Each structure stands twice: as C-alpha cells, then as structure tokens.
Amino acid sequence: MTFQDIFKSSFLENVTEFSILDTAIGMCFAIILGLFIFIIYKKTFSGVMYSAGFAMTLVGISLVTTLVIMAVTSNVVLSLGMVGALSIVRFRAAIKEPMEIVYLFWSIAVGIVIGAGMIPLAVIGSAMIGIILLLFANRKLAENPYILIVNCRDEKAEQAALAWIHQSVSRLMIKAKTVNSAGIELTSEIRIRSEALDFVNRIEEIDGVSSAALVSYNGEYMG
C-alpha cells in the first residue's frame, strides 16, 4: 500500500461527508438547551445542598451526547465501534436526589435528538418539560412540614408540652420517643400554616422542658 492509497481509503473519504455548518448549528442548539436545563434545575432545586458542578454537568452531557450521535449517524462502522467503546465506561457518581435522574435523562435525550437532526423536536420538547417542572416542582404546600424535637424532664412536662403544641400547630404526629435517665426526648412531625415560629419559644419556657428544636424538611417520606 502506497502513501496515495492511504489517502484514498474509505475511512478518510467518509470524514469529508460531515457538514461543518450542520455540526456548528447542532452544537449551538445543544449549548442553548443545555443552559436551559441548567436554569430549570437551578430554579426547581429543593434539596439540601445545591451542586454547581452537577448543574454544569447537564450542559456538558448535552454537548457530548450531541457530538457522539452526530458521529454515529454519519458512519455505520463508526457507530459499531462507538458502542463497543462506550460499553466499557463505568460511572460511579451517586444520585442524591430522585429529580437528578430526570435532568440527566433530559440532557441525554436533548443530545440524542439534536444529534439525529430533529432540532425542532428538541426545542419544543424541552420547552414543555421545563414548563411542567417549573409548575409542579415549585408547588408550595399549604402547610409547611417541620420536625420538632423536645427534651422534657418528666412525664408532667411532656404532657404540658404536647398540649401546647396541639394548640399551636395544625397537625402533630409523634415519630419517636426516647426515655432515659436524663429525661424524655420527643421527635414529632408538625405542620403549620404560616411562618410564625414563636410558639417554639413558649415550649422552652414550660416548666420541665430543657430544650426545643425545630428543623425544616421536605416531607418526601411516607408516614
């Protein structure tokens, strides 16, 4: 095989088949929709700690997936090699929130659809998904859930604290009760209709109550 034969190989001929303009347009739309997913994730995030790294990963996934699909759709031989190469990749990143799976699949889907040349489908679909997530993810509960922890010296103080809590909240559910030589610790789920949290101060003033702690949570467990 001569040097000229190398340049006449079918592999190098296929390289010239892709369009630079189509690639640039596809990557631009991937960036735009990736940033759109980034903004929606930031606005709908309701977890404990917001991860800027994960949010930027959503943009990167859209770009990388678009590039891969463009390469796969342009060459059948390359697509088979790409499947074999990607099959050895293993990811070990932990998913902290269930909604993160939705955003990961959304970014991958955007990259696949844009890479396949169906840009209008990616734009319309992303707009609908974004609107739905904004409407439902930011839906506020009529009653805010909290975890209330009260430490009492004896049973009399416990009854007094529970009576006051019943008067101050709309819902009270005991989750745990611990009794030891130091006293009684009550852990309960409460619901309140407003942000008036001064009733916690009154609990601590009850004779026999040593401390009262109020912790906010998202109420995503079944109980």
Q: What is the pLDDT of residue 54?
A: 83
Percent of the chain with pLDDT over 70: 73
pLDDT reading at 4 higher than 80: no
- Which neighbouring-strand residues pair with 192? 144
pTM for this entry: 0.60
- Which neighbouring-strand residues pair with 186? 150, 177
pLDDT reading at 202 higher than 90: no
Q: What is the pLDDT of residue 110?
A: 93
The CATH number, out of the four listed (3.40.50.880, 1.10.10.10, 1.20.1250.20, 3.30.70.260), of the domain defined by the range 144-216: 3.30.70.260
Read off the pLDDT of residues 45-58 as tens digits, 9 standing for 90 and up.
876 677 788 888 88
Q: Decide: 61 and 108 in contact? Cβ < 8 Å.
A: yes
pLDDT reading at 87 higher than 80: no
Percent of the chain with pLDDT over 90: 19
Delimit the CATH 3.30.70.260 region(s) of the chain: 144-216
Q: What is the pLDDT of residue 123?
A: 93
**Phi, psi (degrees; rounded to nearest 5) at 184:** -125, 135
Higher pLDDT, 59 or 202: 59
pLDDT reading at 13 higher than 70: no
Higher pLDDT, 79 or 119: 119
Q: Decide: 144 and 191 in contact? Cβ < 8 Å.
A: yes
Average pLDDT, the chain: 78
pLDDT reading at 38 higher than 90: yes
Supply 195's token pair: 């942000």
Q: What is the pLDDT of residue 90?
A: 59
Instruction: Tell me which residue of 32, 57, 40, 52 sits closest to 136, measured CA to CA.
Output: 40
DSSP characters over 163-215: HHHHHH-SEEEEEEEEEETTEEEEEEEEEESSS--THHHHHHTSTTEEEEEEE
Read off the pLDDT of residues 64-85 as tens digits, 9 standing for 90 and up.
888 888 877 766 556 555 655 5
Supply 4's token pair: 């000229």
Q: Decide: 147 and 188 in contact? Cβ < 8 Å.
A: yes
pLDDT-derived band at 109 (thresholds 50, 70, 90) equals very high
Q: What is the pLDDT of residue 77?
A: 57
For 25-59, letters b (16+ CB in 10 Å) and e give: ebbebbebbbebbbebbeebbeeeeeeeebbebbb
**Phi, psi (degrees; rounded to nearest 5) at 196:** -80, 100
- Which neighbouring-strand residues pair with 56? none
CB count within 10 Å of CB 162 equals 17
The 3 state secondary structure assigned to 65-100 is HHHHHHHHHHCHHHHHHHHHHHCCCCCCCCCCCHHH
Q: What is the pLDDT of residue 221?
A: 45
Q: What is the pLDDT of residue 10?
A: 53
Rounded CA separation 216/223 (Å): 16
Q: For 66-75, 149-158, 197-206, 214-223, which range has the lowest pLDDT when averaged over its residues?
A: 214-223
